């Protein structure tokens, strides 16, 4: 029985899933600085016949994952975005410059929906990416995620450290003003993208897919209906791994 190990190495967390073809067998999440935990967690898994990794956390994380995966014979495949894959065409001016996590998420979103979509992922950073009705990735936004915004305000202003506030349309205390400002800025980027697309495409986008650990922060306040998909990047990695295995069998 063949197993595919998918690894999403982000700026804050390493998420992973072991699949038997398309069925999830094991999954987990650890902080980057606690990645040694994976040695024990992975000891209890069947040996993967394929390993695919999206790493956006830099060289140190890359080297660390090489060591962690060295317990198995199979060498990892390090995903980079390409011009076309799994039904998605990458219209980035330099396709390989697109983050591997964004590429995997777009592949997953397209293969799940098969229609024009805005794909939102909220973690350390927030990305807002656009797929057309024909599977073209038209472009997208990158901005700081909520924790980065909170931390920058604390580090670079004289605003006193206060407890996390609540969302309010007209905040009347500092804690609520900070919290509401962060939420409104994230929502604003999403809704502004819809306005741009309305002018560009001639119609309002109806399909929104949202993923990422910080997505619950903004979901209650969005004026649009969004479909929540857990582990969108892992789902995309699985699709790409299966596509590569099928291609190899045909050669």
Burial classification of residue 136, based on how many CB atoms lie within 10 Å of its CB (0-12 exposed, 13-18 middle, 19 or more buried): middle
129 is catalytic: no
Partner residues linked to 119 by β-bridges: 129, 209
Question: Domain extents for the chain?
Answer: 4-78, 114-233
**According to the model, what pLDDT value does residue 206 have?**
83
Fold (CATH) for 114-233: Nucleotidyltransferase; domain 5 (3.30.420)
- Catalytic choice (20, 23, 101, 136): 101
What does the alpha-carbon distance between residue 101 and residue 44 come to, in Å, rounded to a whole number?
27
Looking up tokens 């990695």 gives 237
Higher local confidence (pLDDT), 223 or 202: 223
SS (H, E, C) the chain: CCCEEEEEECCCEEEEEEEECCEEEEEEEEEHHHCCHHHHHHHCCCCCCEEEEEECCCHHHHHHHHHHHCCCCCCCEECCCCCEECCEEECCCCHHHCCHHHHHHHHHHHHHHCCCEEEEEECCEEEEEEECCCCEEEEEEEEECHHHHHHHHHHHCCCCCCCCCCCCCCCCCHHHHHHHHHHHHHHHHHHHHHHHHHHHHCCCCCCEEEECCCHHHHHHHCCCCCEECCCHHHHHHHHHHHHHHHHHHHC
| Tokens encoding 140 | 């997208």
Instruction: Tell which wins on pLDDT, 157 or 101.
Output: 101
Query: For domain 4-78, is the CATH number 3.50.50.60?
Result: no
Q: Regarding predicted confidence, which is higher, 81 or 195?
A: 81
Distance (Å) of CA 209 to CA 45, 190, 206, 226, 247: 31, 11, 10, 6, 28
Distance separating alpha carbons of residues 60 and 200, to the nearest angstrom? 40
Strand order from edge to edge, sheet including 50-55 = 23-31, 13-20, 4-9, 50-55, 77-78
Query: In the chain, pLDDT over 70 holds for what percent of residues?
Result: 98
Residue 248 has a pLDDT of 61
pLDDT in tens, 127-183: 999 999 999 999 999 999 999 999 998 889 988 877 789 999 999 999 999 999 999
> Can 4-78 and 114-233 be said to share one CATH topology?
yes
Average pLDDT over all residues of the chain: 92
List b or e across 64-83, with b for residues whose CB sees 16 or more CB atoms inside 10 angstroms. bbeebbeeeeeebebbebee
**Of 52, 28, 42, residue with least CA distance to 72:** 42
Is 250 a residue whose pLDDT tops 60? no
The Cα–Cα gap between 145 and 157 comes to 18
């Amino acid at each position: 029985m063949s197993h595919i190990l998918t690894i999403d190495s982000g700026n804050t967390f390493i998420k992973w899933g072991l699949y038997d073809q398309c069925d999830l067998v094991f999954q987990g999440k650890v902080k980057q600085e606690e990645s040694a935990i994976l040695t024990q967690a992975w000891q209890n898994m069947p040996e993967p016949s394929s390993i695919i990794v999206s790493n956006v956390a830099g060289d140190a994380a890359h080297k660390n994952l090489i060591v962690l995966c060295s317990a198995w014979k199979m060498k990892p495949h390090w995903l980079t975005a390409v011009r076309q894959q799994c039904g998605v065409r990458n219209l980035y001016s330099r396709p390989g410059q697109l983050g591997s996590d964004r590429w995997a998420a777009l592949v997953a979103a397209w293969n799940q929906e098969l229609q024009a979509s805005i794909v939102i992922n909220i973690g350390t950073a927030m990305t807002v990416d656009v797929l057309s009705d024909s599977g073209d990735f038209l472009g997208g936004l990158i901005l700081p995620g909520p924790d980065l915004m909170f931390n920058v305000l604390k580090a670079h202003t004289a605003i006193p450290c206060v407890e996390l506030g609540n969302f309010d349309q007209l905040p009347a205390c500092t804690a609520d003003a900070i919290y509401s400002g962060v939420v409104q800025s994230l929502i604003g980027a999403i809704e502004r993208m819809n306005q741009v697309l309305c002018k560009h495409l001639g119609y309002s986008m109806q399909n929104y897919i949202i993923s990422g650990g910080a997505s619950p922060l903004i979901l209650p306040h969005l004026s649009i209906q969004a479909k929540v998909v857990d582990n969108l990047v892992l789902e995309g990695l699985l699709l790409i791994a299966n596509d590569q295995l099928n291609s190899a069998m045909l050669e």
